[in-house]
Amino acid sequence: MDIGRIGIWTFTLDLVPSARSVEHVDELDELGFGAVWVPEAVGREAFTSAALLLRGGSDIVVATGIAGIYGRDPMAANAAHRTITEAYPDRFLLGLGVSHQVMVEGVRKHDYSKPYSAMRSYLDAMDQSMFFAAPPTTEPQRVLAALGPRMLELARDRTAGALPYFVPPEHTAFARGILGDGPLLAVEQAVVFETDPARARDIARSHTKTYTPLPNYTNNLRRLDPTWTDDDFAGAGSDRLVDTIVAWGSEDEIVARIQAHLDAGADHVCIQVITDGTAPPVEHWRRLADLFELAS
């Protein structure tokens, strides 16, 4: 499976009719992006969404970023993974994750006390599940949403690699050090196409405000650098937090941040364009394709 250097991470495809989403995947494929990553939280169900989106394009990979393990049992996940891979060989990448306590316990009413052990057991159960339908002709591929050392090690040992989210290039270097050579390291990077600092940070905070209350992300940043304080994570985040997580400014500055991840060891950067609206940011996707000369 080849997902290329540059992909798109977006929740906006959930916000338009599925037929229109497929048209956007068609264009992303034509623009040369290697993968489109779609989330699962309170929108479309991950496997169904991926299967619908795979009707678009011919080469682009559709990846879940991420399918939560508490959303379905391992046997169902294994069956869905193999079913979609059989229908679309080498075009479906399953990103799995443990999500967050507020979602798992507060919304889904599951126990989140041991997320690492839950993931390890989930992978075991997937691998042991029965599946008697027509098998895929290519090996199903999966990666883990991983931030800390143990989950990164599990991603290295049990999957094709890792998908860190809400991280700076310093974490990418840390992750590559644990994964070693070989495993896929796909990193999410949020960007805002705005050069005015106040305006850029205002738009960026529409993104960071979702994640500053989540300990998985704040603890990860503290692990990287103990100088982070509670004030940095208050509300939608300090200027330091915003500037660390979201690339904004000139096109050259945005490209430099993405290149920093690649230089730090990422194989693939999935870019999440943040705007002041909710429509798919098609014009920005086209700008990115030109900046990275993807179609050439």
pLDDT of residue 61 exceeding 80, the answer is yes
Residue 160 dihedral angles phi and psi, to the nearest 5°: -75, -15
The strand pairing partners of 192, in sequence order, are 248
**pLDDT at position 127, please?**
98
* Per-residue pLDDT tens digits for 76-94: 999 999 999 999 999 999 9
pLDDT of residue 107 exceeding 90, the answer is no
**pLDDT at position 293, please?**
95
**pLDDT at position 47, please?**
98
Instruction: Measure the CA–CA gap between 189 and 215, rounded to whole angstroms.
Output: 19
Closest CA to 62 of 116, 26, 100: 26
**pLDDT at position 215, please?**
97
* Per-residue pLDDT tens digits for 211-243: 999 999 999 999 999 999 999 999 999 999 999
**With bands split at pLDDT 50, 70 and 90, how would you rate the model's confidence at 65?**
very high
Residue 67 dihedral angles phi and psi, to the nearest 5°: -85, 125
Q: Is the pTM of this model over 0.85?
A: yes
Walk me through the domains of the chain, giving residue ranges and CATH numbers.
Answer: 6-291 (3.20.20.30)
Judge whether 251 and 259 are in contact, CB under 8 Å: no
**With bands split at pLDDT 50, 70 and 90, how would you rate the model's confidence at 190?**
very high
* Helix %, strand %, coil % of the chain (to 5): 50, 15, 40
Bond into 3 cis (ω within 30): no
**pLDDT at position 173, please?**
98
Residue 155 dihedral angles phi and psi, to the nearest 5°: -60, -45
Question: Under 8 Å CB-to-CB from 263, ≥6 apart: which residues?
Answer: 169
pLDDT of residue 6 exceeding 90, the answer is yes
